[in-house]
Structure 1
Amino acid sequence: MFSANAQQITSPDKNLVLNFELKDNGVPTYSLTYKKKDVIKTSKLGIETKDVPSFLNGFTITDTQKSTFDETWQPVWGEQKNIRNHYNELLVTLTQKAEKDRFIRIRFRLFNDGLGFRYEFPAQKNLNYFIIKEEHTQFALAGDHKAFWLPGDFDTQEYSTVTSNLSEVRGKMKAAVTPNVSQTTFSPTGLQTPLMMKSKDGLYINIHEAALVDYSCMSLNLDDKNFVLESFLTPDAIGDKGYMQAPTQTPWRTVIVSDKAGDILMSKLVYNLNEPTKFKDVSWIKPIKYVGVWWEMITGKSTWAYTDLENVQLGVTDYSKTKPNGKHGANTQHVKEYIDFAAKNGIDAVLVEGWNQGWEDWFGKTKDYVFDFVTPYPDFDVKELHRYAESKGVKIIMHHETSGSVRNYERHLDTAYKFMVENGYNAVKSGYVGQIIPRGEHHYGQWLVNHYLYAITKAADYKIMVNAHEAIRPTGLARTYPNLIGNEAARGTEYESFGGNNPDHTTILPFTRLIGGPMDYTPGIFQTRINAYNPDNNSFVHTTLTKQLALYVTMYSPLQMAADLPDTYNKFYDAFQFIKDVAVDWDESYVLEAEPGDYITIARKAKGKNEWFIGSVTDENARTAVVKFDYLPKGKTYVATVYADGKDASFDKNPQSYTIRKIKVTSKTVLKQAVAPGGGFAISVK
Structure 2
Amino acid sequence: MKKNVLIALAVLAAGTLSAQNNFTLSSPDGRLRVEVAVDGTVEYSVLHGDDVMIAPSAISMTTAGVPSFGVDARLAGSSTRSVDDTFDAPVYKRARVRDNFNELTLRFRNNYNIVFRAYDDGAAYRFEYTGKKAFEVLGEQAEFTFPAAAEGVFSYVRGGGNGKTGDKFERQFFNSFENFYTYEPLSSWKSEQLAFLPVVVGGPNGKKVCITEADLMDYPGMYLYGGAKDGTLAGVYAPYPKTVEQGGHNQLQMIVTARENYIARVAGPTCFPWRVMVVAENDAELLDNDMVYKISSPPTGDFSWVKPGKVAWDWWNAWNLYGVDFAAGVNTETYKYYIDFASDHGIEYVILDEGWAVNKRADLMQVVPEIDLPGILGYAAERNVGIILWAGYWAFDRDMENICRHYSDMGVKGFKVDFMDRDDQQMVDFNRRAAETGARYGLLIDLHGTHKPTGLHRTYPNVVNFEGVNGLEQMKWSPDLDQVTYDVTIPFVRQVAGPMDYTQGAMRNATAGNYRSVYSEAMSQGTRCRQLAEYVVFESPLNMLCDSPSNYMNEKECLEFIAAIPTVWDETVVLGGEIAKYVSMARRSGEQWYVGAMTNWTARSLTLDLSFLGEGKFAAEVYRDGVNASRAARDYKKETIGIPEDRRLKIDMAPGGGWTAKIYRVTD
TM-score interval (norm. to shorter): 0.7 to 0.9
| Counterpart residue number, 2:245 | none
Which is richer in strand?
A: 2
In structure 2, give the amino acid aligned to 1:639: A
Please say if residues 274 and 479 of structure 1, whose CA atoms lie closer than 8 Å, have aligned partners that are also in contact.
Answer: yes
Equivalent positions of 1:525-564 (< 5 A) are: 525-528=506-509, 540-564=523-547
Deviation at 1:348, TM superposition (A): 0.9
Distance, in Å, in 2 between the alignment partners of 1:55 and 1:605 is: 45
| Counterpart residue number, 2:639 | 661
Does residue 457 of structure 2 align to residue 443 of structure 1? no
The runs of 4+ residues in structure 1 deviating greater than 6 Å are 529-539
TM score, norm. by length of structure 2: 0.87
Does residue 342 of structure 2 align to residue 337 of structure 1? no
Equivalent positions of 1:181-330 (< 5 A) are: 188-199=192-203, 201-223=205-227, 225-237=229-241, 238-239=259-260, 240-279=262-301, 281-297=302-318, 329-330=329-330
The 1:371–1:246 alpha-carbon spacing in structure 2 relative to 1, beyond 3 Å, is closer
Gaps of at least 5 residues in structure 1 are 96-101, 171-186, 303-325, 363-369, 434-441
In structure 1, give the amino acid aligned to 2:232: V
Equivalent positions of 1:583-662 (< 5 A) are: 583-606=566-589, 609-634=590-615, 636-650=616-630, 653-662=631-640
| Counterpart residue number, 2:487 | 506
| Counterpart residue number, 2:125 | 117
Distance, in Å, in 1 between the alignment partners of 2:629 and 2:223 is: 40
Please say if residues 220 and 424 of structure 2, whose CA atoms lie closer than 8 Å, have aligned partners that are also in contact.
Answer: yes
Does residue 465 of structure 2 align to residue 486 of structure 1? yes
SS of corresponding position for 2:490: helix
Please say if residues 45 and 54 of structure 2, whose CA atoms lie closer than 8 Å, have aligned partners that are also in contact.
Answer: yes
* CA deviation profile, 1:248-286 (whole Å, cap 9, x unmatched): 22100000002132322211111111121122x222101
Q: In the alignment, which of 131, 139, 142 is matched to residue 137 of structure 1?
A: 142
* CA deviation profile, 1:134-164 (whole Å, cap 9, x unmatched): 1111111134222111114423211111122
In structure 1, give the amino acid aligned to 2:356: N
Please say if residues 293 and 329 of structure 1, whose CA atoms lie closer than 8 Å, have aligned partners that are also in contact.
Answer: no
SS of corresponding position for 2:367: coil
| Counterpart residue number, 2:370 | 379
Q: In the alignment, which of 530, 542, 549 is matched to residue 566 of structure 1?
A: 549
Deviation at 1:410, TM superposition (A): 2.7
Deviation at 1:534, TM superposition (A): 9.7
* CA deviation profile, 1:369-389 (whole Å, cap 9, x unmatched): x23213322221112212211
Please say if residues 329 and 354 of structure 1, whose CA atoms lie closer than 8 Å, have aligned partners that are also in contact.
Answer: no
Please say if residues 554 and 616 of structure 1, whose CA atoms lie closer than 8 Å, have aligned partners that are also in contact.
Answer: yes
Deviation at 1:344, TM superposition (A): 1.2
| Counterpart residue number, 2:350 | 350
Gaps of at least 5 residues in structure 2 are 1-10, 158-171, 242-258
SS of corresponding position for 2:43: strand
Q: In the alignment, which of 16, 28, 40 is matched to residue 54 of structure 2?
A: 40
| Counterpart residue number, 1:10 | 26
Does residue 82 of structure 2 align to residue 68 of structure 1? yes
* CA deviation profile, 1:365-420 (whole Å, cap 9, x unmatched): xxxxx232133222211122122112212111122123xx3xx5333222222232
The 1:346–1:538 alpha-carbon spacing in structure 2 relative to 1, beyond 3 Å, is closer
Please say if residues 631 and 667 of structure 1, whose CA atoms lie closer than 8 Å, have aligned partners that are also in contact.
Answer: no
Deviation at 1:68, TM superposition (A): 0.4
Please say if residues 374 and 419 of structure 1, whose CA atoms lie closer than 8 Å, have aligned partners that are also in contact.
Answer: no
Distance, in Å, in 2 between the alignment partners of 1:533 and 1:568 is: 18
Equivalent positions of 1:137-176 (< 5 A) are: 137-152=142-157, 153-154=172-173, 155-170=175-190
Please say if residues 486 and 559 of structure 1, whose CA atoms lie closer than 8 Å, have aligned partners that are also in contact.
Answer: yes
* CA deviation profile, 1:57-83 (whole Å, cap 9, x unmatched): 212222011110110001121111110
In structure 2, give the amino acid aligned to 1:389: A
In structure 2, give the amino acid aligned to 1:22: V
SS of corresponding position for 2:183: strand
Deviation at 1:293, TM superposition (A): 1.4
Distance, in Å, in 2 between the alignment partners of 1:168 and 1:270 is: 29
The 1:123–1:85 alpha-carbon spacing in structure 2 relative to 1, beyond 3 Å, is same
* CA deviation profile, 1:179-238 (whole Å, cap 9, x unmatched): xxxxxxxx6242221101223521111000000011010111114653011111122232
In structure 1, give the amino acid aligned to 2:618: Y
Deviation at 1:53, TM superposition (A): 4.4
Distance, in Å, in 1 between the alignment partners of 2:644 and 2:92 is: 26
Does residue 432 of structure 2 align to residue 412 of structure 1? no
Count of paired positions: 607
Q: In the alignment, which of 77, 100, 105 is matched to residue 86 of structure 1?
A: 100
Deviation at 1:94, TM superposition (A): 2.3
Distance, in Å, in 2 between the alignment partners of 1:86 and 1:263 is: 17
The 1:329–1:401 alpha-carbon spacing in structure 2 relative to 1, beyond 3 Å, is farther
Does residue 411 of structure 2 align to residue 424 of structure 1? yes
Deviation at 1:244, TM superposition (A): 1.6
In structure 2, give the amino acid aligned to 1:204: K
Please say if residues 476 and 519 of structure 2, whose CA atoms lie closer than 8 Å, have aligned partners that are also in contact.
Answer: no
Please say if residues 510 and 525 of structure 2, whose CA atoms lie closer than 8 Å, have aligned partners that are also in contact.
Answer: no
In structure 2, give the amino acid aligned to 1:381: D
